[in-house]
Amino acid sequence: MERPSWVPDGVDVERPSAARVYDHYLGGLHNFAADRAMAAAAVADWPELPRIMQANRAFLRRAVRHLADQGIDQFLDIGSGIPTVGNVHEVAQAVRPDARVVYVDIDPVAVAHSRALLADDPRTGVVQADLVDVDGVLGAPATRSLLDLSRPVGLLVVALLHFVGDERRPADVLARYREALAPGSHLVISHASADGAPDRAGEHQSLYRRTATPMTMRTRDEVAGLLDGFTLVEPGLVFLPQWRPDDPSAPLTAPERFTGYAAVGRRD
């Protein structure tokens, strides 16, 4: 059985992991036969899926580059998954070599892989925590030692909020982060929505029914509500490929089929 040296002890590579399935969609190398089989089954039902995941990841990279260009040199990436293909510290450090990144995820498999992959990088840290545990995330030893919360932070909550149901009050949670972070900090979000592809809403939800995390699709107004109190930077809340595309002159066909919204908001 394949078991490369980067796999931490105790991680079962014969059981699919949502984080490694996602890594496979992105073209990463941190996945196994069981993960690829689950990915193949989902793609058979929904051929656009890898393209949507890649569009989300491409948005994440563009947003991090934009914030680094604005002078932000510390990032808190919550719901980071496995730091894979074009991960946040690589993108940020390409602009600001001394940039520091704390990766946070609730999933012990993603966290174990992240710790193993980043063990030798002193400018990154890994925390296992739930987004809604604001004190736990901000007070974690890795957060406190790597990030200076009196200066602006790039807070990334990308492709995560649709796993946080309304009963967990995601808008209040984001407001608590906003209050805790210094003025000039920025929030980056993307969020699944069936607005542009109502025919695909069922697939989205059933895909994740196979994992421990049910999914809450939100409308544009509902996603905008999560951003209350932040000042949106241009171009505002848009479909994933429409947020500051690398080549603005390239034609974009049916951006709504990417079934996700993207936005960056500033904490004034």
Ligand X SMILES: C[S@@+](CC[C@H](N)C(=O)[O-])C[C@H]1O[C@@H](n2cnc3c(N)ncnc32)[C@H](O)[C@@H]1O
> Rule CB under 6 A: which residues touch ligand X?
19, 22, 56-57, 60, 78-81, 105-107, 110, 130-131, 158-160, 163-164, 213
Instruction: State CA 33 to chain mean position distance.
Output: 24
Nearest residue by C-beta to ligand X?
Answer: 79
Provide, rounded to whole angstroms, the least separation between the CB of residue 249 and ligand X.
Answer: 26
Residue 233 per-residue DSSP state:
P
Q: Is the Cβ–Cβ distance between 98 and 73 less than 8 Å?
A: yes
- For ligand X, the closer of residues 105 and 195 by Cβ is 105
Provide, rounded to whole angstroms, the least separation between the CB of residue 257 and ligand X.
Answer: 18
- For ligand X, the closer of residues 29 and 249 by Cβ is 29
CA angle, corner 233, sides to 133 and 225, nearest 5? Answer: 50
Instruction: State CA 241 to chain mean position distance.
Output: 15
- For ligand X, the closer of residues 150 and 167 by Cβ is 167
| 3-class DSSP state of 198 | helix
Provide, rounded to whole angstroms, the least separation between the CB of residue 10 and ligand X.
Answer: 17
- For ligand X, the closer of residues 78 and 146 by Cβ is 78
Q: CB burial class (10 A; 0-12, 13-18, 19+) of residue 247?
A: exposed
Provide, rounded to whole angstroms, the least separation between the CB of residue 11 and ligand X.
Answer: 14
